[in-house]
Every structure is written in structure tokens, then in C-alpha cells.
Structure 1
């Protein structure tokens, strides 16, 4: 529920656009270790003889740490604010990533070093950046979150090209500190100058400021955990991510199994990244203007169209392109919808803790989806059974979002009588 006396959308952007800019680069930094891993695999495999699974397991270590620690980082965010978590986290992340170039020919040491990277990574998870943005925006919260989350598209577009050039020019050992140094030079000044949560801005600005940030109000953590809304939102995020990532992370082999050449498959799969930005911004625009439950419920059904096209017309390149575009549009909406609905159903007073718990379950889905898809392929020799298995998951996610109920009205730190988020 948007407060009647909330600043206009234009005033919110005038007050908070620099925070959104910093958070956009923060989201890019959050996902950077995923997108820079690919170019490093072949040269490390050549030098050390490790399998590709052993090399890429480093990213899995970071993902696991993020899932386990997310609720605790959320509690820290609620206590000290996102700025005091993001700044040291970004420094630790960049510094430990730079050290990866010193990895010896011992795969266990490699995993331990990635654990060190994970210590910094857990402090700059999406919760950190979305918390700051959600606290400064009310009327235009959906679009502000959408712009912030476009940082993943920025990272996926720039980092592979940059890292490949650095490896070809200076070797993989030097590429790690060079990449980390470049990222630090770009993002750390932005974070230091512009990244402030709502509480930080209240301390820095006089009470009579013309556009003060919205007051942080909402349900307690106990109220949220006891509510059916929390269970539905967490389940929706988990099953949708399991299905969507299970398909999109394997787009190249899926398209290859349908008769496309490797070059064709890679080209078609690349459309998903481009359209995800469009989907994210479009969803942000819509949820600011229409009921977010219904917008989300419709968006998570859209991938069923792409899946049906995969099953009905395998190998038809034009139709496969349309199917991938449809999947990309929905994938771009995923994180935006869940983050936005968390703020609307539970408020912003304990957003860090509550969304941290939602995202910890969500992180597990990132590992479950691709593993399940490839397991079914290994058993059957086709990705069709995986696609059939994922189809009902989209429907389950949609049903959860459609039945979340009206947004509660919050005053102070608790909802008004008769509008409890536990209802």
C-alpha cells in the first residue's frame, strides 16, 4: 500500500537516483564472479589439468555460502544499514578476487580461496542493494528496483569481453588482479560517494528536507515467518527459479539437442540476456501501476509459452528464437517481482532479515534447477522430460502469487488492525 503522503515519483528519483546508480553497479559486482569464470576455465584446465567441474565448483562454494549466510546478513543489514555492510564487503570481495591469480596447482586450495571470496560476496548480495533502494522509493519502487537489478545484464555483457582480452594479453594469473582492480576503481568511489540507505539519509539531512525518505515500517520477523504470505512468496521464488534457471542455464545444450549447431545455439541463447533487461524494466513499470500480485502471477506463467514452443517445434530456428525471447522476458522479471512483493507485504522495517530468508531458499534453486535438468538428460538422452517437469512449476509459482492477498497497511513498526501480514 502506497502512503497517501508519499513523495511523488519524480521527487523520489530526484532524491534517490544516485543511490540507484550505485546499487546498479553493486548488483553488477555481486554477479561478477559468475560471469568472469567462463573465460578462465580453459587456461586453468590447460595449466593444472583440473576438470572443468572442479574449476567451476569455486562459484558453487560462493553460492552455498550466500544461501547459508543470507538470513544472518539480513539481520546485520537491519541493524547497521546497507552502507556499513556494502563498503567493507566490496573491498573484501575485490581484494580476495585479486588473490585468485596466486592459486597453486592444488584444487583444494583453489576451493579454500573461493571460500575467502565468498566472505566478501555474502555482504554484497542483492539484499544489500535492494534494501537501500526500497527504503528510498515508494511510488516508483518497482521501476527503481528494476533499474537496480539491470546490473546483472551490465556484468554479463561487459565482463566476459574484458576478462577474455586480459587473459589473452597478460595471462590468467595477471587477469585476476587486473579485473579486480578495474572493478574496484569503478565501483568503490560510487559506493563511497552515493550509496546511502534511508537511515543514512535521515542522519545526513535536516528534518525539514523537502523530500525525506519514506519511514521504514512493516511487520516484525516473527509475524512474517508465521504468515501464509511468507510461505507462498518463498515457494513461488523457489519453484520459479528452479524451472527458469534449469532451462536458461542450459539453453545452449538444449538448443543443440534440438538440432541447432553450436554456433546457432550460442547466438539464439544470447537473446535471453538482452531481453531480460527489457523484461525487468517493463515489469518494474507495470508493478508501480497495477496490482503487483497479479502482474507477478502473469509474468511467471509466460515461460510456459517458450517451453511449449521448444516441445512443439524443436529445431525450427525462428521459433526457437521467439521461445528464447519469451524466456528472457520472464527471467528478467523474476528477482524484481519477489523483492518488490516482499516490501509490499512485509514492509521495509525488517526487509533485510525477511528478504534474506527468502533469498537463501532462492539461492538453493539456482543449483537445483540446472542439476535436475542435466540429471534427467543423463537418464533419458533428451531435455524434453526436464521441460515437461518444469512446466507445472511455473503454474505453482503463479498460483502462489495470485493468492497472496491485498497489501497490508502499516503504521509504525506494525500493521494496522485488520490488515495483518499474517492473515
Structure 2
């Protein structure tokens, strides 16, 4: 395919940057909302019902597991049917689940069922659909475009705690779930229905394959058997997600347990999210100029230091510094996963591969949340989590450094068929 076509050809109605902007808007009201709401609204909710704190963390773990399943399903559906219709339907399920949380009775079984419903639709408000669209439209500045897109998740983490806290004071925790749930239903559904589109050439190839009784691209099973990069990337993202999301889910209770006021603890959580927002933009820029595994490894080294500070420190300043460093890792991992998937795997397998990577991303989140929750229950503090969490970050760095040279150029051609791509450095810069 002519790379210039994908780089410059507009859609029939929109400049390609609109797909970035509307994707940002979707993620602003996307999956990060659940983590924030459970952080901010969890205590008043458990206080009303007389539940243990572990009920909320277990519900978040259940929801996160379902997120992973929904992401894999959506990735397969995107490669077969395109992103628009499957994503709109799943986004409606996600928002409906949040609205139902506003009327949940004092019944843990119903609470967990609603968590399952939220997770079942949350694949559509993760980056997979919009990353697929943006990667298809952008040959040049793909890293930057993905960074701006992913910044929606960071912006959600920055703004949503204050919105949730304000709604909590104004309407109570039930009203907060209801209002935010409506927003999280309407905005993504409208974006997917009226804006989201793939390039015509990409859709034509997909439809041709379907007309011939097959699906374009290589199957997950084939890639899992033949590509070591498939497992290296997937496991690395799982490990980093366990560390970063595990900590993020506990920032507010972890801080208040150390005597930090609730408002300050919410600010620390917002700083973590603000840091992840900046990291997404910076990481996107760096991915356009440097070899992706090197970029990710440098950021994750800093993240390891943040893990130590966030768990071990007991005063505001080092907690803020730890939140900043962990936010760097949290912000980088989504960009790295989306970008590296486009450079190591065929374009028509992008949705499936990224869906599986984000599945392990979600499983890592669930595992990290569960791990810290269990450590807290067993020891009464989070200190015991320092060694395993830092160990996971170090292991992830080692795996990424084993990825090797890019397999595909920015215009989706195989590196083996393109001259001048004999090493990682050349592969990283030859398309620019």
C-alpha cells in the first residue's frame, strides 16, 4: 500500500486529527473513571453498607478481569467488522453499569454483578479501538498522535477525582455514580457512532478478506506460536501494569492511613494522574525519535524509584514525588503497547494483538490490586509490597530490552523486505 495515501488522505468529512481529538474525549470519560470512582466513593459506600474495604477492592479486581476479556473480544471484532458498531454497543453497556451502581442495594452479590457488567463494556472505553484507528491513519507522527490520544486517560485521572469529590459533596456517592455514568454513556457512544472511521483502503482490504471467507492478518494463535515479541511485550506490560495500577488503586487509602487528610490524598492521586498525562505526551514524542524499548526502559527505571517512595514515605513531599514517578510509568505503558504493536505485528492483526496485550494489561491491574489488598489484610500496611512490585518493574525492563529490531516500518511494510533496517537503531529511524 502507498504510505502517502495513509499519511495525507483525509476521510470524506474529517481531518485525521479529529480521530485523535475525539478519541481523547472518549478516554476522558473512559475506563480510568472506574478506578477513580472506587477510590473516591469507596469509603462512603462501605461506611453506609458496613462492608470491609476489601469488598470494594475485590469488586475492582472483578471489573478489571472483565475489562481484559472485553478488550480481547473487541480486538477480534474490530479486525473483523471495524471499530464503530462493536465499540458503540460496548460503550453503552459500560455507562449503563455505572448508572446502575447508583442504585445498588446493600447486597454484595449484586454489587459484584454490576462490576462484571461495567467490565464487560469497558473494552470500548479503553484505548484499543481508537489506537487502531489512529495507527491506521498516521504513518508520520504516529507516536505523537498516540500520545495525545492516550493523554485522555491521564486527563481523566486528573479531572475525575475532583469531579467525583464535588459530586460526592453535592449529591452523595449515589448521585455521583449516576451523573458520571450518564456522561460515560453518552459521550463515547456519540463519538463511535458519528465520528470513528478507518481509512478506506484499510476497510477495503478487510472486506475483501471477508468476501473470500477469511480474516485479514495473522491469527493470535499463529503469532503466539511464531513470535517471541508477542510474549515479551505482553508479559512486560502485565508486570508494569501490576505495579502501577496496583498502587494507583490504593493511593487514597494508603495516604490517609499515614495520617494524610482526605483532600490531600485526592490531590496526590490527581498528581499521579497528571504526571501520567504529561508522560503520555512526552512518550509519544520520544517514540517518534528513539527506539521504543529504550524509551520505555528509561521511564520504567524512574517508576521503580517512585514505587519505593509511594509505599515507604509518610510525608506529603516524598509521596508527591513518588506519585510523579509512578505516573511516568503509568503514562508510558499504554503508549508503548500501542506503538510497539504497530511496529512488531501485521497491521490487520493490530486489533487482536493489542487486545491481547491490553488483556494482560488489565490482568496485571487486577493482580496488582489483589496483591496489595491481600498484603494489607495480612500485615496491616502496604510496606511488604515494595520488593515484589519493584521486582516486577525490573523484570519488565529486561523483557523489553530483549524485543530486538522492529519488524514493520511505519508504512506497515515488512522490515525484511525493506533495505536499511539491519539493526534496531536503523529500524527506529529509517521511516523518518
TM more than 0.5: yes
Change beyond 3 A, Cα 1:176–1:250: closer
Please give the TM-score of this superposition, normalised by the length of structure 1. Answer: 0.81
Tell me, in whole angstroms, the C-alpha distance in 1 between the residues paired with 2:90 and 2:106.
Answer: 28
Tell me, in whole angstroms, the C-alpha distance in 1 between the residues paired with 2:237 and 2:412.
Answer: 28
Tell me, in whole angstroms, the C-alpha distance in 1 between the residues paired with 2:54 and 2:375.
Answer: 18
Q: Does 1:283 align with 2:300?
A: no
What is the match of residue 127 of structure 1? 128
Tell me, in whole angstroms, the C-alpha distance in 1 between the residues paired with 2:305 and 2:39.
Answer: 30
Tell me, in whole angstroms, the C-alpha distance in 1 between the residues paired with 2:136 and 2:309.
Answer: 40
Tell me, in whole angstroms, the C-alpha distance in 2 between the residues paired with 1:391 and 1:5.
Answer: 43
What is the match of residue 342 of structure 1? 341
What is the match of residue 249 of structure 1? 249
Report if the CA contact (8 A) 1:74-1:353 is conserved: yes
Q: Deviations over 1:140-184 (max 9, x none)?
A: 111111111122223223334334444544455454443333444
What is the match of residue 235 of structure 1? 235
Alignment of 1:324-339 (within 5 A): 324-339=323-338
Structure 1 residue 94: Cα displacement: 2.5
Structure 1 residue 138: Cα displacement: 1.9
RMSD: 3.6
Tell me, in whole angstroms, the C-alpha distance in 2 between the residues paired with 1:188 and 1:391.
Answer: 38
Tell me, in whole angstroms, the C-alpha distance in 2 between the residues paired with 1:177 and 1:300.
Answer: 37
Give the stretch that moved more between structures: 368-377 or 283-292. Answer: 368-377
Change beyond 3 A, Cα 1:319–1:377: same
What is the match of residue 96 of structure 2? 95
Q: Does 1:225 align with 2:209?
A: no
Give the stretch that moved more between structures: 167-176 or 271-280. Answer: 167-176
Report if the CA contact (8 A) 2:39-2:249 is conserved: no
Tell me, in whole angstroms, the C-alpha distance in 2 between the residues paired with 1:270 and 1:332.
Answer: 13
Structure 1 residue 124: Cα displacement: 3.6
Structure 1 residue 222: Cα displacement: 4.0
Report if the CA contact (8 A) 1:132-1:196 is conserved: yes
Tell me, in whole angstroms, the C-alpha distance in 2 between the residues paired with 1:412 and 1:277.
Answer: 28
Q: How many residues align?
A: 405
Change beyond 3 A, Cα 1:399–1:242: same
Please give the TM-score of this superposition, normalised by the length of structure 2. Answer: 0.80
Q: Deviations over 1:169-213 (max 9, x none)?
A: 44554544433334444444333332222359867xxxxxxxxxx
Tell me, in whole angstroms, the C-alpha distance in 1 between the residues paired with 2:338 and 2:239.
Answer: 16
Tell me, in whole angstroms, the C-alpha distance in 1 between the residues paired with 2:169 and 2:319.
Answer: 33
Tell me, in whole angstroms, the C-alpha distance in 2 between the residues paired with 1:239 and 1:7.
Answer: 34
Tell me, in whole angstroms, the C-alpha distance in 2 between the residues paired with 1:9 and 1:110.
Answer: 48
Q: Does 1:364 align with 2:363?
A: yes
Alignment of 1:87-236 (within 5 A): 87-199=88-200, 220-226=219-225, 227-236=227-236
Tell me, in whole angstroms, the C-alpha distance in 1 between the residues paired with 2:117 and 2:187.
Answer: 22
Structure 1 residue 66: Cα displacement: 2.0
Report if the CA contact (8 A) 1:219-1:415 is conserved: no
Structure 1 residue 238: Cα displacement: 1.2
Query: Unmatched 5+ residue regions in structure 1?
Result: 204-215
Tell me, in whole angstroms, the C-alpha distance in 2 between the residues paired with 1:150 and 1:45.
Answer: 31
What is the match of residue 206 of structure 1? none
What is the match of residue 354 of structure 2? 355
Q: Does 1:79 align with 2:98?
A: no
3-state DSSP of counterpart to 2:15: helix
Query: Unmatched 5+ residue regions in structure 2?
Result: 205-214, 423-432
Tell me, in whole angstroms, the C-alpha distance in 2 between the residues paired with 1:75 and 1:305.
Answer: 37
Structure 1 residue 329: Cα displacement: 1.8
What is the match of residue 210 of structure 2? none
Report if the CA contact (8 A) 1:217-1:413 is conserved: no
Give the stretch that moved more between structures: 91-100 or 38-47. Answer: 38-47
Q: Deviations over 1:358-385 (max 9, x none)?
A: 2212211112223323444555555444
Structure 1 residue 67: Cα displacement: 2.1
Structure 1 residue 263: Cα displacement: 6.0
Structure 1 residue 42: Cα displacement: 4.5
3-state DSSP of counterpart to 1:283: helix
